[in-house]
């Protein structure tokens, strides 16, 4: 069974069919898939190949971790490590056909464990769980029992706790499908981990498709009722190689409402209309156009208009490179975060200093603090049910 909610989730073959259809319908003119001539033989060869693997260094406790490189028929590359299931780089073409990395990250695992990174923990590219986003006061009540979680964000719990899914070693299985090269990651979150009930078995499959999308499919089962909210925390910058900030990126969010938050970024329960506010991205706006009107910058959950199937969640256009990114998901919400807490203390790939607004996140999700908000879409996974969720980041070019 699939975890039920008022929004519903897409499962099985229908997700694959709709994803392919959505990507084809939304693929911008001049995308790599349209501008690169490929034969059916080369596509089949790329789909059949297994991702390459290499060492990504050792963790602070001496555990060797691996880096897997997924490549598609047009030469796009995604590298993912089994440490935190982290997307470390993503090479996509610009309007001149030049491949460039569009996500923030580090050259080896040491960057993700440095004292500076652990102090601020921006979660670059990581898989997030057991519960993505915030839970108020690190507490929730389920079936009459109160559970206390690890508090790692002031008085609240953020992205799973002190040691979330971003810091564990996932079991990795490289492979392929008809869509492209894949990396299957599995992890058993044991009963009581970070205060959550139940043994939660999680599977995440990354696919770099041959029509230039990075697709992430999540599934999970449990032996006790437990809240679950899985996502990926990639920081995108479609002009990352130039060391530019993201304020010039143009964003569209098909969402007429957002979840209002208090000073601790905990939802108040109000779903407020975006019309007439700097939260209105129903038509394209540059990120920097109105960000000064939002204290602290954007770090909010938008309530997506579409409520079933694989539906539109965001589009992004970067004028200097011509790159576009279209996000589709089965989730009811999306957290749009503009790198407000990056402060220049982290230096990433190629010596790039990550200052304020160096990247933005589009985290598809259920809403923050849902275990304490009964009017929000359900996030409780029960024994016998299976959580299934899918998100796709489709890349293209606008000339």
Answer yes or no: is 218 a known binding residue: no
The predicted pLDDT at position 307 comes to: 82
**Residue 232, both tokens:** 């990926």
Return d(Cα 4, Cα 384) in angstroms, integer.
12
**Residue 329 parent element (H or E):** strand 323-329
What is the reported pLDDT for 49? 82
299 marked as binding residue? yes
CATH 2.40.30.20 fits 12-397, yes or no: no
The pLDDT of residue 14: 36
Q: Please pick, among 233, 311, 357, 366, the residue that the annotation labels catalytic.
A: 233
Of the candidates 377, 395, 373, the residue with the CA atom closest to the CA atom of residue 387: 377
233 assigned to active site: yes
Specify the DSSP class assigned to residue 229: B
Domain segments of the chain as ranges: 12-397
Q: Is 147 annotated as a binding residue?
A: no
pLDDT averaged over 10-residue windows placed end to end, the chain, 399 residues? 40 38 37 36 53 96 97 97 98 97 97 93 97 98 97 96 97 97 98 98 98 98 98 96 89 98 95 98 98 97 94 98 98 98 93 95 98 97 98 96
For residue 180, the model assigns a pLDDT of 97
**Can you give the pTM of this predicted structure?**
0.88
Residue 362's Cα: distance from chain center in Å?
6
- Identify whether 363 is a catalytic site residue: yes
Length of the chain: 399
229 labelled ligand-binding: no
β-bridge mates for residue 147, sequence order: 140
Confirm whether residue 305 is marked as ligand binding. no
């Amino acid at each position: 069974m699939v975890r039920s909610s008022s929004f519903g989730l897409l499962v099985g073959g229908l997700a694959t069919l709709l994803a392919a259809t959505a990507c084809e319908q939304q693929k911008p003119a001049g995308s790599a898939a349209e501008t690169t001539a490929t034969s059916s033989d080369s596509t089949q060869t790329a789909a059949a190949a297994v991702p390459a693997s290499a060492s990504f260094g050792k963790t602070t406790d001496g555990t060797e971790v691996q880096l897997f490189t997924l490549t598609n028929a047009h030469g796009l590359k995604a590298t993912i490590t089994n440490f935190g299931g982290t997307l470390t780089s993503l090479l996509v073409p610009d309007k001149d056909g030049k491949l460039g990395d569009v996500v923030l990250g580090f050259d080896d695992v040491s960057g993700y464990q440095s004292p500076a990174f652990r102090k601020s923990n921006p979660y670059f590219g990581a898989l997030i769980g057991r519960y993505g986003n915030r839970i108020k006061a690190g507490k929730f009540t389920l079936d009459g029992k109160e559970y206390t979680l690890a508090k790692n964000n002031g008085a609240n719990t953020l992205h799973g706790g002190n040691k979330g899914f971003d810091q564990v070693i996932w079991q990795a299985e490289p492979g392929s499908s008809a869509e492209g090269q894949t990396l299957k990651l599995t992890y058993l979150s044991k009963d009581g981990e970070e205060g959550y009930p139940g043994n939660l078995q999680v599977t995440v499959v990354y696919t770099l498709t041959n029509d230039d999308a990075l697709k992430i499919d999540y599934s999970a089962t449990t032996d006790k009722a437990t809240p679950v909210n899985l996502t990926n925390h990639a920081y995108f910058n479609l002009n990352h190689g130039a060391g530019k900030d993201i304020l010039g990126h143009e964003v569209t969010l098909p969402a007429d409402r957002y979840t209002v938050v208090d000073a601790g970024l905990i939802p108040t329960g109000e779903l407020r209309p975006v019309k007439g506010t700097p939260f209105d991205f129903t038509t394209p706006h540059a990120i920097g156009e109105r960000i000064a009107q939002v204290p602290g910058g954007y770090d909010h959950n938008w309530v997506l208009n579409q409520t079933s199937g694989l539906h539109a969640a965001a589009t992004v256009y970067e004028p200097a490179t011509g790159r576009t990114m279209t996000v589709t998901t089965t989730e009811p919400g999306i957290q749009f975060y503009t790198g407000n807490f990056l402060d220049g203390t982290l230096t990433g790939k190629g010596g790039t200093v990550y200052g304020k607004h160096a990247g933005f996140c589009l985290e598809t999700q259920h809403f923050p603090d849902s275990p304490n908000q009964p009017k929000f879409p359900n996030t409780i996974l029960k024994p016998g049910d299976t959580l299934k969720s899918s998100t796709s980041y489709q890349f293209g070019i606008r000339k």
